Amino acid sequence: MRFWTKRQGWLGVAALVWALAAWGCSDEAAAPGSEQAEAVEDAGGDEADSGVGAEEVGEEADAAEGPPQRELPPGPWEVTEPGHYGVGSMSERVTYTTQGGVERTLPVMIWYPSRDEGLERPDGVRPVARGNATFGVEGQAPVLLFSHGSGGVPNQSLFWTNHFASHGWIVIAPSHTGNDRPGEPIDVNFFIWRPEDVSAVLDAMQARPEGHLLHGRLSDDVVMSGHSFGGYTSLALAGAEVDVESLEANCAAYGVCAWLQGGNIARLEEGFHDPRIKASIPMTPAGSLIFGAGLGEMQVPVLLITAGQDQTLPDAQEGAPIWAQMDNTGDVRLHFPRAGHFSFADLCVTLPSYFLNDGCGPEFTDPVRVQWITTSYGLAFANLHALGDDRDAALLSGAESLGGGAEIEVK
């Protein structure tokens, strides 16, 4: 298919290195899940070996003396700065059955706000996540979903996930099993499974039982985000409709004729819109060919983030055509003319030479600056459309600017 380039396994190699780096997340014990999904206590653990259930987790938490709690300054806090919450982390595993009858088991990484002392990064620049932290928000917190790129892992963009958690958001990022390792061929079924993965994981997290850290914690304020193939996933869940007629007419060129059969066509025509999602933030997404004019059918506001020097999913083939088809009032495009595909993942820190030609070289805007601008606009957009907080409306309209060469367009 034309959707992907020869570098389709890029993210798995780098993210494996990143997962072992100091900023990686620790695991926290988790309770069994709901009727639609089950959790495993540790991401690398065995469900049968743990023996720790929801009630036991709750009893242990009650018995232990909690860590010292920090005082939070009054809000609102600036979207351009890390929030004042510390960041806790945990990992789970969710099992569900797709609408097509395939059972899938997905590791899930979660970041959440905590008031525990000692969660700051020593240099004070970025929040760093830690396992076994207490939940810091009274009542419920808004939810950010994140879908990784092809061949990647959930913690590929900690600049993004930790920033939101430090501002009081619960961030939930599934690993799309079968599309999360380097060198794996891209099964076209992932155009169906990926959005179903995200909806099933949200189901599971919303249904966590009493005694679980997340029980009753997720509010109805949900925003979807993702990078690359995760950007496609974000568009699908926002309600973009697949152009099945075009796919069928061009299936030989795309190499998907055998896949476009009765059940798959019906599922594609049904669509993947999840009505719980209030806004969507795709970063350098794929989708112009598979959605086409169906991008005009999205039912929530979208912040489209694109890169002018993207070599993996070139802007002329993906970003610009996607923006041209979008037509919701309030849709925003944040475009970086001198950014690359990997400017939106933490890979220029770990393997800059590998991605030199697609985001990490001297000819690109400093990825740290790109990421700072991205988190600022992303949080402002999420606050506006999920929480009704319009204090950064001037930033989103283009009346104010953070510089860095970023360009803003508004529908």
Q: What is the pLDDT of residue 11?
A: 39
Tens of pLDDT, residues 230-267:
999 999 999 999 999 988 888 888 888 888 887 899 99
pLDDT of residue 352: 66
Residue ranges per domain, the chain?
26-39+78-410
Beta bridge partners of 141: 218
SS3 assignment, position 148: coil
Burial degree of 340 (CB within 10 A; 0-12, 13-18, 19+): buried
Tell which residue, 115, 108, 142, has the closest CA to residue 130.
115
- What pLDDT score does 49 carry? 26
Residue whose C-alpha is closest to residue 212's, from 46, 52, 105, 94: 52
Return the pLDDT at 353: 64
pTM of the predicted structure, to 2 decimals? 0.85
> 137-159: per-residue pLDDT in tens?
999 999 999 999 998 899 999 99
Joined together, the tokens standing for residue 304 give 């489209």
> Residue 47: its pLDDT value, please?
29
pLDDT of residue 120: 66
The set of residues, in sequence order, having a beta carbon less than 8 Å from that of 63 and lying 6+ positions away, is none
Q: Which residues of the chain have pLDDT under 70?
A: 1-65, 120-129, 351-355
Is residue 113 within 8 A of residue 87, CB to CB? The reply is yes
| pLDDT computed for residue 12 by the predictor | 34
pLDDT value, residue 23: 28
Euclidean distance between CA atoms 295 and 242, whole angstroms:
8
Task: Report which DSSP code applies to 124.
Answer: S
Are the CB atoms for 379 and 79 separated by under 8 Å?
A: yes
- Position 198 scores a pLDDT of 98
pLDDT score of 184 = 75
Q: Which of 3.40.50.1820, 3.20.20.450, 3.40.47.10, 3.90.700.10 is the CATH number of 26-39+78-410? A: 3.40.50.1820
